[in-house]
Amino acid sequence: MDFTLNITFYVYIAAIVAYVVREIWRTKALRWVAFGVFSGALVLNTILVMTRWYEANHAPMSDKYESFVFFAWTIALVYLIMELVTIFIARVHESRLGIIGALQSLLSAWMLYSAINTDSTIKELPPALQSNWLVVHVINYFISYSALSISFSAAIIYLIYRAIYRGRAQEIVMSGSNSQLRKDVTFDKLAYISVTIGFPFLTVGLITGSIWAKGAWGTYWGWDPKETWSLISWLVYLAYLHLPMILPKTKIKKTIAPIILSIVLLVAFPVVLFTFMGMHKLPSAVDSDHIYAE
């Protein structure tokens, strides 16, 4: 397991390099090379998930080690699906998705690095986790986190391009010409699309978590720190989705609105990561029912 984990980590690192090279030289061959390296990392990551599932005899998402590996897998899977949709359904032949691919590879590598430095001992599941809601709840959350991570990456790139090129055509990530797209997709629009995909899964994750809590602890909502920060994450993205309808009614210039939306995403995803990785460090979380993943 440790050997496969390390190899997978290094293949994700190779995918970062491949995507960066793809963006520099931008040839069709390099596009498929980067796609192939990233796909190879996903295959290895899938082996890690399935092997852990077999060895632990439960869904591999119950502790920190399993969560890191599983999150890396969903990040890669969701991005790869986006690439496949872009190539074979939208039929976009020229795109700047390689930049997003590099950042998503970096995020997956970070998750695996965290797993490498985490105790991988298989532990007996606490009674609260011995529920079918574990799979439904956690999978919905990780799919949402993965889609939202794409919006975070797109927001970073948008702000960088905006600073360098001052809003010219270099912001375009996917061209509408000679494709099934009706118009060009810029990085800020890609970010918004990613949130519209991730937010429903985030909502289902919140709802199923409440149902699970009712069965495990007798209450749908107990204002546990984990529950509170999950709600904060949900509210931040809810606000983001409504901002495009609110900002035009203010005196804020139309050209400034995408910058505000992108800045919101720079705050929103760290809130998600804190809910996932850092909430247990709060003093108020010492007695949390959710701190089972140590």
Please write the tens of the pLDDT for every residue from 54-74: 999 988 988 899 999 999 999
102 and 139 inside one domain: no
Point out the least confidently predicted range of 53-62, 259-268, 271-280. Answer: 271-280
116 and 133 inside one domain: no
Q: What pLDDT does residue 278 have? A: 72
Q: How far apart are CA 80 and CA 88, in angstroms?
A: 12
What domain range is 192 assigned to?
129-294
Q: Global pTM?
A: 0.93
Which of 213, 229, 226 minimizes the C-alpha distance to 290? 226
Q: How far apart are CA 44 and CA 49, in angstroms?
A: 9
19 and 148 inside one domain: no
Per the model's pLDDT, the better-predicted residue between 33 and 227 turns out to be: 33
User: Is residue 262 a contact partner of residue 256, using CB atoms and an 8 Å limit?
Assistant: no
Q: How far apart are CA 74 and CA 216, in angstroms?
A: 26
Q: Of 120, 138, 166, which residue is a domain's last? A: 120
Task: Supply the angle between the helices 97-116 and 2-25 in degrees, to the nearest 10.
Answer: 160
Q: Which two tokens stand for residue 92?
A: 């976009």
Q: What pLDDT does residue 213 have? A: 80
Q: What is the mean pLDDT of residues 175-199?
A: 89
**CATH classification at residue 54:** 1.20.120
Q: What pLDDT does residue 165 have? A: 76
Q: How far apart are CA 215 and CA 281, in angstroms?
A: 26
Mean pLDDT of the residues in the chain: 89
Q: How far apart are CA 63 and CA 80, in angstroms?
A: 25
Q: How many domains, the chain?
A: 2
Backbone angles phi, psi at 94, to 5 degrees: -125, 120
Checking if the pLDDT of 24 tops 60, the result is yes
Band of residue 168 on the pLDDT scale cut at 50, 70, 90: low
50 and 94 inside one domain: yes
Checking if the pLDDT of 143 tops 90, the result is yes
CA distances (Å), origin 140, targets 151, 183, 191, 205, 279: 17, 30, 19, 5, 19
110 and 143 inside one domain: no
Q: What pLDDT does residue 50 have? A: 96
User: Is residue 105 a contact partner of residue 41, using CB atoms and an 8 Å limit?
Assistant: yes
Q: Of 90, 120, 150, which residue is a domain's last? A: 120
111 and 151 inside one domain: no
